[in-house]
Amino acid sequence: QVQLVESGGGLVQAGGSLRLSCAASGRSLSSYTSAWFRQAPGKEREFVAGIRWPGGSVAYADSVKGRFTISRDNAKNTVPLQMNSLKPEDTAVYYCAAKTGPLYDTSRMYDYWGQGTQVTVSS
């Protein structure tokens, strides 16, 4: 079992930056494929970014390419998401997720989830 806890959300002006963190307990997150999803009010949960294990290849939603960066910090057992040039449409609850095996952009493929952290971008 892997327990995931997100942190780092908050209120930021458009054009600003935030760094989210997904901290794991129970097992090392370095052995899991990890991803960030987000869900805005009235919308379905959508894939934001993911990092595969093994190999470390990454994938991003088109809407965040060039602005967001996912990485892995094995020493801290975390998966950070650096978010730059934030836009009001990035406002959502951001969730960390993990699974074994390949990287997918479909939320139902993930076994472990955090409780989410709110990101609000004002215009």
Select from 89, 88, 71 the least CA-distant residue to 80.
71
| Pure H helices in 4-72 | none
Q: In the prediction, which pLDDT does 15 show?
A: 98
Select from 84, 85, 80, 61 the least CA-distant residue to 70.
80
Q: In the prediction, which pLDDT does 33 show?
A: 96
pLDDT single digits (tens) 28-50: 888 899 999 999 999 999 999 99
pLDDT single digits (tens) 69-95: 999 999 999 999 999 999 999 999 999
Q: In the prediction, which pLDDT does 82 show?
A: 98
> Are 23 and 112 a contacting pair, CB within 8 Å?
no
pLDDT single digits (tens) 47-62: 999 999 988 899 999 9
> Are 48 and 94 a contacting pair, CB within 8 Å?
yes
